[in-house]
Amino acid sequence: MDHGILFDHARTSRIGLPEAVFCEGKPFEAVEELLSRFGRGSGRPILFTRLAPDIFAMMPEQIRASYDYDPLSRTAFGETLPARAGGGIAVISAGTADGPVAWEAARTLRYLGITHKVFEDCGVAGLWRLAERLDEVNTFDALIVVAGLDAALASVMGGLTPKPVFAVPTSVGYGAAQGGHAALASMLSSCAPGVAVMNIDNGYGAACAAARIINTFRP
């Protein structure tokens, strides 16, 4: 069945980033059709995001075998872009509860061929965890900071590094956190100048924003 899906194959030449497939909300048949086209050996690297584990598990075994799938980040790719020489991005999360968003960012960077490392459990409730990793974090060219609850980690990192910071609020938190809106407001109200803020839970977007920095200075 033709679902009328038209890929923007010229996007890479325009902005340096290829098109990705946001799977959430798409009909099962449409996702299956796309997965059948871009698996390992297709020669066409495509990233699939928000691909739920139960949906992926329903795919034919032949399709599942042709993908690198991660259930935590809900991402899949058959092939990746060539690895880039130089440049690196640190992904820093406040806690393991922020893992789905942090690893969505990390998996996107892996797909894009960009060197990266994930630093988990760096929340401000135990600042020593961040302090002992700060020197290594600052060896990277850009930082992605992922945090829910009060999202104070974004301001802390914004005051401790000269590197570009892309902050991602997550929907983690109790009632007043309002599904990430409190974290978003906190990051947007940061007293640390120059911190760029992404949408709630948008690890993919943060990875692409950081990649633009890497692509600009290390073409």
Residue 219, number of CB atoms within 10 A of its CB:
7
Q: What is the pLDDT of residue 12?
A: 62
Residue 206 has pLDDT above 80, yes or no: yes
Q: What is the pLDDT of residue 8?
A: 58
pTM of the model: 0.89
Residue located via tokens 């990051």: 187
Cα(20)–Cα(45) distance, integer angstroms: 9
Cα(63)–Cα(78) distance, integer angstroms: 10
Percentage above 90 pLDDT, the chain = 70
Average pLDDT over residues 20-40: 93
Q: What fold characterizes domain 88-217? A: Rossmann fold (3.40.50)
Residue 3 has pLDDT above 70, yes or no: no
- Answer for the pair 7, 19: CB distance below 8 angstroms, yes or no: yes
Residue 128, number of CB atoms within 10 A of its CB:
8
